[in-house]
Amino acid sequence: MNAVNQHADRLRTLAIAFYRSFAFPTGETLRRWAVAAVVVNAGITVTGAAVRLTGSGLGCPTWPRCTPTSFVPARNDLHSPLNMSIEFGNRLLSFLVLAVAAACVIAAVRLGRPGYDRPRPVLVRLAALQPAGVVLQALWGGLVVRTMLNPVTVSVHFLLSIGMMAAACALLARSGEGDGPPRRLVHRDIRTLGFVLTAAVFVLLIAGVVVTGTGPHSGDQAASRFGFDIQSVVRLHTDVAYVVVGLTFALLFALHVTDSPGRARRAALVLLGVELAQGVIGYVQYFLAVPALLVGFHVLGSTLVWIATLRVVFLLRSRGPAEAPASERPELHHAAA
């Protein structure tokens, strides 16, 4: 009985904390929702790849319905129940992403409720990008289905997710700092190197989707492929990866020799480790004829490389500490008393 009561108390505590994150948001709760947005956007990117890797890309052959006559999976002679369930399950995950996106907006707006300061416009704008991105992704997903998994539309679908992750990372960074002008924490040339690295990683992601759109895992037998030579695009992707790793090593070396902030150095070291792990997976999957499971891990690795890159760049500058909401400032409470 005590165990049941303890479990009930834990659930009650979680429910109260969940409610307070909306009703009485703080900068910390907004940061937590931003972290959740990063995680769910990365997660649905990986599950979207799993849909393709299991051959379930057209498991729901229509949009917005799953079949011409049903919004949920129904008997279809052209698609197995498993493929339909996988594709439909990924569609349902969009509602989780939307829920987290809505929570980010509510938390950002409620920071300026009566008795508090006005909402910070930059946080509201960044938070609003999340639900807007979910709607855009849903509409684009319909285009992906209607174009029979055309590699161009599939590639853009992935890049839109990359953009939403970037917006969520920006929300996370800005919610923990003030609104002052950015102040460099490292030498100007090192920060420029960080921007160049970010651009190189983005090019690497584009090269990766070209390889994916040329390779064997199309998502369905009816899907078309890019007409490129697979060996050539893989070689190009590998060359860009070498450039990214070289730039990362140069950034890490520069941060260490200039005695830059420890957080930035550790973040750059994490990024290099993620890139090297991603490289190992890439080589192994290539020599094993790209098994679906390893391709899935490679997609996960690409999202982690992107997130780790953005984290490094945001740690190379500061806008000062975030100002606490009015109700959290002790001096204002004393003045009111």
* 3 confidence band (pLDDT: 50, 70, 90): low
| pLDDT of res. 284 | 94
User: CA separation (Å) from 153 to 52, 147, 149, 225?
Assistant: 13, 8, 7, 11
Mean pLDDT to the nearest integer, 260-269: 94
Given a cut of 80, is residue 265 above it in pLDDT?
Answer: yes
User: CA separation (Å) from 233 to 43, 215, 294, 299, 305?
Assistant: 26, 10, 19, 17, 20
Q: Which two tokens stand for residue 9?
A: 């108390």
What pLDDT digit, counting tens, does each position of 181-211 carry?
Answer: 888 999 999 999 999 999 999 999 999 999 9
What pLDDT digit, counting tens, does each position of 134-174 carry?
Answer: 999 999 999 999 999 999 999 999 999 999 999 999 999 99
Q: What is the pTM of this model?
A: 0.89
* Torsions phi, psi for 65 (to 5 deg): -75, 160
Mean pLDDT to the nearest integer, 27-55: 93
In whole angstroms, give the CA distance from residue 123 to residue 143: 31
* 78 confidence band (pLDDT: 50, 70, 90): confident
